[in-house]
Amino acid sequence: PRTYLVTGAASGIGRATADHLRALGHAVIGADIQGADIQGTGSEGAAIEGGGISADLATAEGRTQLVAQARKLTDGRLDAVIACAGIAHFDPRTVRVNHFGAVATLEGLRPLLAAGTAPRALVIGSVDAVHPTDEATVEAALAGDEEAAVAAAQAAVDRGEGHLAYASSKAAVSRWVRRAAVTADWAGAGIPLNAVGPGVIRTPMTQPLLDDPEMRPVVEQAVPMPLSGPAAPKELAPLVAWLTSPENTLVTGQIVFADGGADAVLRGERT
Ligand code: NAD
Protein backbone atom coordinates (compact mmCIF):
# COMPACT_ATOMS: atom_id res chain seq x y z
CA PRO A 1 0.00 0.00 0.00
CA ARG A 2 1.06 3.53 -0.78
CA THR A 3 0.55 6.68 1.26
CA TYR A 4 -1.31 9.48 -0.51
CA LEU A 5 -2.12 13.01 0.55
CA VAL A 6 -5.23 14.49 -1.07
CA THR A 7 -6.27 18.12 -0.54
CA GLY A 8 -9.93 19.07 -0.88
CA ALA A 9 -10.65 15.56 0.40
CA ALA A 10 -13.86 16.48 2.21
CA SER A 11 -15.99 16.92 -0.90
CA GLY A 12 -16.54 16.23 -4.57
CA ILE A 13 -13.60 15.10 -6.66
CA GLY A 14 -11.14 15.01 -3.75
CA ARG A 15 -13.47 12.87 -1.68
CA ALA A 16 -14.18 10.46 -4.56
CA THR A 17 -10.46 10.19 -5.25
CA ALA A 18 -9.68 9.44 -1.60
CA ASP A 19 -12.46 6.83 -1.49
CA HIS A 20 -11.14 5.15 -4.64
CA LEU A 21 -7.56 5.04 -3.35
CA ARG A 22 -8.70 3.63 0.01
CA ALA A 23 -10.73 0.96 -1.80
CA LEU A 24 -7.50 -0.01 -3.60
CA GLY A 25 -5.92 -0.51 -0.16
CA HIS A 26 -3.86 2.66 0.06
CA ALA A 27 -3.54 4.97 3.04
CA VAL A 28 -4.93 8.43 2.34
CA ILE A 29 -4.37 11.54 4.42
CA GLY A 30 -7.16 13.96 3.64
CA ALA A 31 -6.60 17.69 3.96
CA ASP A 32 -9.27 20.36 3.78
CA ILE A 33 -10.28 23.68 5.25
CA GLN A 34 -11.09 23.78 8.96
CA GLY A 35 -14.48 22.40 9.82
CA ALA A 36 -14.71 20.21 6.71
CA ASP A 37 -15.52 16.57 7.35
CA ILE A 38 -12.24 14.84 6.52
CA GLN A 39 -12.12 11.09 6.72
CA GLY A 40 -8.73 10.51 8.27
CA THR A 41 -8.67 6.78 7.81
CA GLY A 42 -5.88 4.53 6.58
CA SER A 43 -5.90 1.45 4.40
CA GLU A 44 -7.81 -0.82 6.75
CA GLY A 45 -10.01 1.83 8.23
CA ALA A 46 -7.34 2.51 10.82
CA ALA A 47 -7.73 6.09 11.91
CA ILE A 48 -4.80 8.27 11.00
CA GLU A 49 -3.72 10.16 14.06
CA GLY A 50 -5.26 13.60 14.01
CA GLY A 51 -8.00 12.55 11.58
CA GLY A 52 -6.55 14.27 8.56
CA ILE A 53 -5.28 17.82 8.23
CA SER A 54 -7.19 21.08 8.61
CA ALA A 55 -5.55 23.90 6.70
CA ASP A 56 -6.73 26.95 4.77
CA LEU A 57 -4.68 26.78 1.58
CA ALA A 58 -5.58 30.37 0.71
CA THR A 59 -3.16 31.50 3.43
CA ALA A 60 0.58 31.21 4.01
CA GLU A 61 -0.12 29.97 7.52
CA GLY A 62 -2.42 27.20 6.27
CA ARG A 63 0.12 26.10 3.67
CA THR A 64 2.84 25.91 6.34
CA GLN A 65 0.47 23.97 8.61
CA LEU A 66 -0.28 21.48 5.82
CA VAL A 67 3.38 20.62 5.37
CA ALA A 68 4.11 20.50 9.10
CA GLN A 69 1.12 18.22 9.79
CA ALA A 70 1.96 15.99 6.83
CA ARG A 71 5.49 15.55 8.19
CA LYS A 72 4.11 14.57 11.58
CA LEU A 73 1.58 12.09 10.21
CA THR A 74 3.99 10.39 7.80
CA ASP A 75 7.47 10.53 9.34
CA GLY A 76 8.40 12.69 6.36
CA ARG A 77 7.53 10.25 3.56
CA LEU A 78 4.71 10.42 1.02
CA ASP A 79 4.29 8.36 -2.14
CA ALA A 80 1.86 10.69 -3.90
CA VAL A 81 0.23 14.09 -3.54
CA ILE A 82 -3.02 15.05 -5.25
CA ALA A 83 -3.90 18.75 -5.06
CA CYS A 84 -7.64 18.92 -5.46
CA ALA A 85 -8.74 21.79 -3.20
CA GLY A 86 -10.32 24.53 -5.22
CA ILE A 87 -13.10 27.10 -5.45
CA ALA A 88 -14.91 28.88 -8.27
CA HIS A 89 -15.71 32.26 -6.76
CA PHE A 90 -15.73 35.37 -8.94
CA ASP A 91 -13.01 36.94 -6.81
CA PRO A 92 -9.25 36.83 -6.18
CA ARG A 93 -9.48 34.15 -3.47
CA THR A 94 -9.97 31.72 -6.36
CA VAL A 95 -6.44 32.53 -7.52
CA ARG A 96 -5.06 32.16 -3.99
CA VAL A 97 -6.54 28.69 -3.56
CA ASN A 98 -6.46 27.22 -7.06
CA HIS A 99 -3.01 28.39 -8.13
CA PHE A 100 -0.98 29.45 -5.12
CA GLY A 101 -2.52 26.89 -2.75
CA ALA A 102 -1.94 24.07 -5.21
CA VAL A 103 1.62 25.12 -6.03
CA ALA A 104 2.42 25.50 -2.31
CA THR A 105 0.96 22.04 -1.67
CA LEU A 106 3.07 20.41 -4.36
CA GLU A 107 6.27 22.34 -3.68
CA GLY A 108 5.90 22.14 0.09
CA LEU A 109 5.36 18.39 0.03
CA ARG A 110 8.00 17.68 -2.62
CA PRO A 111 10.69 16.83 -0.03
CA LEU A 112 8.30 14.23 1.45
CA LEU A 113 7.75 12.80 -2.02
CA ALA A 114 11.49 12.67 -2.60
CA ALA A 115 11.66 10.32 0.42
CA GLY A 116 8.77 8.19 -0.86
CA THR A 117 8.54 5.17 -3.16
CA ALA A 118 7.78 5.76 -6.87
CA PRO A 119 6.63 9.29 -5.98
CA ARG A 120 3.99 11.00 -8.13
CA ALA A 121 2.24 14.38 -8.04
CA LEU A 122 -0.92 15.67 -9.62
CA VAL A 123 -3.13 18.74 -9.55
CA ILE A 124 -6.76 18.94 -10.59
CA GLY A 125 -6.85 21.69 -13.20
CA SER A 126 -9.87 22.24 -15.44
CA VAL A 127 -10.86 22.32 -19.06
CA ASP A 128 -11.79 25.91 -18.18
CA ALA A 129 -8.07 26.65 -18.59
CA VAL A 130 -8.76 26.86 -22.33
CA HIS A 131 -11.40 29.56 -21.81
CA PRO A 132 -10.49 33.29 -21.98
CA THR A 133 -8.24 34.37 -19.10
CA ASP A 134 -6.92 37.58 -17.60
CA GLU A 135 -3.33 37.43 -18.79
CA ALA A 136 -2.09 39.88 -16.12
CA THR A 137 -3.34 37.48 -13.45
CA VAL A 138 -1.78 34.47 -15.17
CA GLU A 139 1.58 36.17 -15.72
CA ALA A 140 1.81 37.37 -12.11
CA ALA A 141 0.86 33.92 -10.87
CA LEU A 142 3.54 32.28 -12.99
CA ALA A 143 6.04 34.85 -11.72
CA GLY A 144 5.16 33.62 -8.22
CA ASP A 145 3.91 37.06 -7.15
CA GLU A 146 0.73 36.30 -5.21
CA GLU A 147 -0.16 39.87 -4.26
CA ALA A 148 0.30 41.08 -7.86
CA ALA A 149 -1.85 38.19 -9.13
CA VAL A 150 -4.54 38.99 -6.57
CA ALA A 151 -4.40 42.69 -7.52
CA ALA A 152 -4.77 41.79 -11.21
CA ALA A 153 -7.69 39.48 -10.43
CA GLN A 154 -9.31 42.25 -8.35
CA ALA A 155 -8.85 44.69 -11.25
CA ALA A 156 -10.71 42.20 -13.47
CA VAL A 157 -13.50 41.99 -10.87
CA ASP A 158 -13.67 45.81 -10.78
CA ARG A 159 -14.20 46.01 -14.55
CA GLY A 160 -16.96 43.38 -14.36
CA GLU A 161 -14.85 40.38 -15.39
CA GLY A 162 -14.74 38.46 -12.13
CA HIS A 163 -15.62 35.28 -14.00
CA LEU A 164 -12.08 35.31 -15.46
CA ALA A 165 -10.57 34.48 -12.06
CA TYR A 166 -11.36 30.77 -12.32
CA ALA A 167 -10.06 30.17 -15.86
CA SER A 168 -7.01 32.33 -15.04
CA SER A 169 -6.23 30.30 -11.91
CA LYS A 170 -6.51 27.02 -13.83
CA ALA A 171 -4.52 28.27 -16.83
CA ALA A 172 -1.79 29.42 -14.47
CA VAL A 173 -1.54 26.17 -12.55
CA SER A 174 -1.60 24.19 -15.82
CA ARG A 175 1.24 26.24 -17.25
CA TRP A 176 3.11 25.88 -13.97
CA VAL A 177 2.81 22.08 -14.28
CA ARG A 178 4.27 22.09 -17.77
CA ARG A 179 7.13 24.33 -16.69
CA ALA A 180 7.94 22.65 -13.39
CA ALA A 181 7.53 19.03 -14.49
CA VAL A 182 10.69 19.04 -16.58
CA THR A 183 12.97 20.74 -14.05
CA ALA A 184 15.57 19.17 -11.79
CA ASP A 185 13.10 19.36 -8.87
CA TRP A 186 10.56 17.06 -10.52
CA ALA A 187 11.78 15.16 -13.60
CA GLY A 188 15.30 15.30 -12.21
CA ALA A 189 14.10 13.75 -8.97
CA GLY A 190 12.12 11.08 -10.81
CA ILE A 191 8.70 12.53 -9.89
CA PRO A 192 6.06 12.67 -12.64
CA LEU A 193 3.94 15.85 -12.23
CA ASN A 194 0.70 16.16 -14.16
CA ALA A 195 -2.68 17.85 -14.17
CA VAL A 196 -6.07 16.37 -14.88
CA GLY A 197 -8.47 18.82 -16.50
CA PRO A 198 -12.05 17.75 -15.82
CA GLY A 199 -15.07 18.97 -17.74
CA VAL A 200 -18.22 19.53 -15.68
CA ILE A 201 -18.35 17.16 -12.73
CA ARG A 202 -21.43 16.98 -10.53
CA THR A 203 -20.19 18.17 -7.13
CA PRO A 204 -21.29 20.81 -4.62
CA MET A 205 -19.29 23.28 -6.77
CA THR A 206 -21.45 22.77 -9.85
CA GLN A 207 -24.70 21.11 -8.75
CA PRO A 208 -26.48 24.42 -8.00
CA LEU A 209 -25.71 25.59 -11.56
CA LEU A 210 -26.83 22.31 -13.10
CA ASP A 211 -30.06 22.41 -11.08
CA ASP A 212 -30.85 25.95 -12.26
CA PRO A 213 -32.86 25.77 -15.50
CA GLU A 214 -31.44 29.10 -16.64
CA MET A 215 -27.82 28.28 -15.86
CA ARG A 216 -27.69 24.68 -17.07
CA PRO A 217 -27.71 25.56 -20.81
CA VAL A 218 -25.04 28.21 -20.16
CA VAL A 219 -22.84 25.59 -18.50
CA GLU A 220 -23.49 23.07 -21.26
CA GLN A 221 -22.55 25.60 -23.90
CA ALA A 222 -19.39 26.72 -22.09
CA VAL A 223 -18.27 23.11 -21.50
CA PRO A 224 -19.89 20.87 -24.12
CA MET A 225 -19.44 17.17 -23.27
CA PRO A 226 -20.76 15.16 -26.23
CA LEU A 227 -19.51 11.83 -24.87
CA SER A 228 -20.95 11.97 -21.39
CA GLY A 229 -22.62 15.17 -20.32
CA PRO A 230 -21.80 16.31 -16.78
CA ALA A 231 -20.10 13.40 -15.04
CA ALA A 232 -19.77 11.88 -11.58
CA PRO A 233 -16.61 12.52 -9.55
CA LYS A 234 -15.87 8.80 -9.30
CA GLU A 235 -15.44 8.71 -13.09
CA LEU A 236 -12.20 10.71 -12.70
CA ALA A 237 -10.73 8.67 -9.87
CA PRO A 238 -9.24 5.74 -11.85
CA LEU A 239 -7.35 8.15 -14.14
CA VAL A 240 -6.05 10.14 -11.18
CA ALA A 241 -5.07 6.90 -9.44
CA TRP A 242 -3.19 5.62 -12.50
CA LEU A 243 -1.31 8.88 -13.12
CA THR A 244 -0.13 8.78 -9.49
CA SER A 245 0.66 5.05 -9.49
CA PRO A 246 4.08 3.42 -9.99
CA GLU A 247 2.84 2.23 -13.41
CA ASN A 248 3.07 5.78 -14.69
CA THR A 249 6.72 6.05 -15.65
CA LEU A 250 6.39 8.21 -18.79
CA VAL A 251 3.52 10.68 -18.51
CA THR A 252 4.70 13.99 -17.06
CA GLY A 253 4.07 17.67 -17.69
CA GLN A 254 0.68 16.80 -19.22
CA ILE A 255 -2.73 18.34 -18.77
CA VAL A 256 -4.92 15.31 -19.32
CA PHE A 257 -8.43 16.44 -20.15
CA ALA A 258 -11.11 14.15 -18.79
CA ASP A 259 -13.96 16.15 -20.18
CA GLY A 260 -16.27 14.07 -22.34
CA GLY A 261 -14.88 15.81 -25.44
CA ALA A 262 -15.09 19.44 -24.28
CA ASP A 263 -11.50 20.37 -25.18
CA ALA A 264 -11.85 18.81 -28.63
CA VAL A 265 -15.06 20.78 -29.22
CA LEU A 266 -13.66 24.05 -27.86
CA ARG A 267 -10.20 23.97 -29.42
CA GLY A 268 -10.82 21.82 -32.47
CA GLU A 269 -7.66 20.33 -33.94
CA ARG A 270 -5.22 22.44 -31.94
CA THR A 271 -3.20 20.11 -29.71
P1 NAD B 1 -16.03 20.78 -4.04
O2 NAD B 1 -16.47 22.12 -3.64
O3 NAD B 1 -16.97 19.64 -3.95
O4 NAD B 1 -14.69 20.37 -3.28
C5 NAD B 1 -13.64 21.28 -3.11
C6 NAD B 1 -13.00 21.03 -1.77
O7 NAD B 1 -11.89 21.94 -1.63
C8 NAD B 1 -13.96 21.29 -0.60
O9 NAD B 1 -13.94 20.21 0.30
C10 NAD B 1 -13.41 22.56 0.01
O11 NAD B 1 -13.62 22.66 1.42
C12 NAD B 1 -11.93 22.46 -0.32
N13 NAD B 1 -11.32 23.79 -0.25
C14 NAD B 1 -11.80 24.94 -0.80
N15 NAD B 1 -11.04 25.97 -0.42
C16 NAD B 1 -10.06 25.48 0.38
C17 NAD B 1 -9.00 26.08 1.09
N18 NAD B 1 -8.79 27.41 1.07
N19 NAD B 1 -8.19 25.28 1.82
C20 NAD B 1 -8.41 23.95 1.87
N21 NAD B 1 -9.41 23.33 1.22
C22 NAD B 1 -10.24 24.09 0.49
O23 NAD B 1 -15.54 20.97 -5.56
P24 NAD B 1 -15.02 19.90 -6.63
O25 NAD B 1 -15.89 20.06 -7.81
O26 NAD B 1 -14.79 18.57 -6.06
O27 NAD B 1 -13.63 20.56 -6.99
C28 NAD B 1 -12.39 19.93 -6.76
C29 NAD B 1 -11.37 20.48 -7.74
O30 NAD B 1 -11.76 20.14 -9.06
C31 NAD B 1 -11.25 21.99 -7.71
O32 NAD B 1 -9.90 22.36 -7.88
C33 NAD B 1 -12.07 22.41 -8.91
O34 NAD B 1 -11.68 23.66 -9.41
C35 NAD B 1 -11.76 21.29 -9.86
N36 NAD B 1 -12.71 21.14 -10.95
C37 NAD B 1 -14.02 20.88 -10.70
C38 NAD B 1 -14.89 20.73 -11.77
C39 NAD B 1 -16.35 20.46 -11.58
O40 NAD B 1 -17.09 20.52 -12.58
N41 NAD B 1 -16.82 20.14 -10.39
C42 NAD B 1 -14.42 20.85 -13.07
C43 NAD B 1 -13.08 21.11 -13.30
C44 NAD B 1 -12.23 21.24 -12.22
Q: Which helix (H) or strand (E) holds 114?
A: helix 102-114
What is 161-216 written as a DSSP string? -TTHHHHHHHHHHHHHHHHHHTSTTTGGGT--EEEEEE--B-STTTHHHHHSTTHH
In a domain, 239, yes or no: yes
The ipTM estimated for the assembled molecules is: 0.99
- Ligand 1 proximal residues by C-beta, below 6 Å: 7-8, 10-14, 32-33, 36, 56-58, 84-88, 97-98, 101, 124, 126, 198, 200-201, 203-206
Which residue's CA is minimally distant from atom 3 of ligand 1? 12
Domain assignment of residue 238, given as a range: 3-130+171-259
What spacing in Å lies between the alpha carbon of 267 and ligand 1's midpoint?
25
| Minimum-distance ligand 1 atom for the alpha carbon of 233 | 26
Q: Which of 164, 145, 38 is nearest to 94 (CA)?
A: 164
In a domain, 35, yes or no: yes
In a domain, 92, yes or no: yes
For 109-127, letters b (16+ CB in 10 Å) and e give bbebbeebebbbbbbbbbb
pLDDT at residue number 174: 98
Write out pLDDT tens, residues 196-226: 999 999 999 999 999 999 999 999 999 999 9
Write out pLDDT tens, residues 12-62: 999 999 999 999 999 999 999 977 777 655 444 444 444 699 999 999 999
In a domain, 68, yes or no: yes
Counted domains in the chain:
1
| Minimum-distance ligand 1 atom for the alpha carbon of 230 | 40
In a domain, 159, yes or no: no
In a domain, 214, yes or no: yes
What spacing in Å lies between the alpha carbon of 145 and ligand 1's midpoint?
23
For a mutational test of ligand 1's pocket, the pick from 15, 19, 33, i.e. the residue with the most ligand atoms closer than 8 A to its C-beta, is 33
| Pair type for strands 3-7 and 53-54 | unpaired
Pairwise CA distance, residues 187 & 182, whole Å: 5
Write out pLDDT tens, residues 90-114: 999 999 999 999 999 999 999 999 9
In a domain, 176, yes or no: yes
For a mutational test of ligand 1's pocket, the pick from 53, 87, 168, i.e. the residue with the most ligand atoms closer than 8 A to its C-beta, is 87
CATH of the domain at 63: 3.40.50.720
Q: What is the mean pLDDT of residues 133-138?
A: 98
pLDDT at residue number 190: 98
Pairwise CA distance, residues 150 & 136, whole Å: 10
**% of the chain exceeding 90 in pLDDT:** 93
Instruction: Supply the residues annotated as catalytic.
Output: 166
Pairwise CA distance, residues 4 & 67, whole Å: 13
pLDDT at residue number 34: 79
Instruction: Give the model's confidence band at 125: pLDDT under 50 very low, under 70 low, under 90 confident, else very high.
Output: very high
What spacing in Å lies between the alpha carbon of 85 and ligand 1's midpoint?
5
Q: What is the mean pLDDT of residues 146-162?
A: 98
What spacing in Å lies between the alpha carbon of 248 and ligand 1's midpoint?
25
pLDDT at residue number 167: 98
In a domain, 24, yes or no: yes
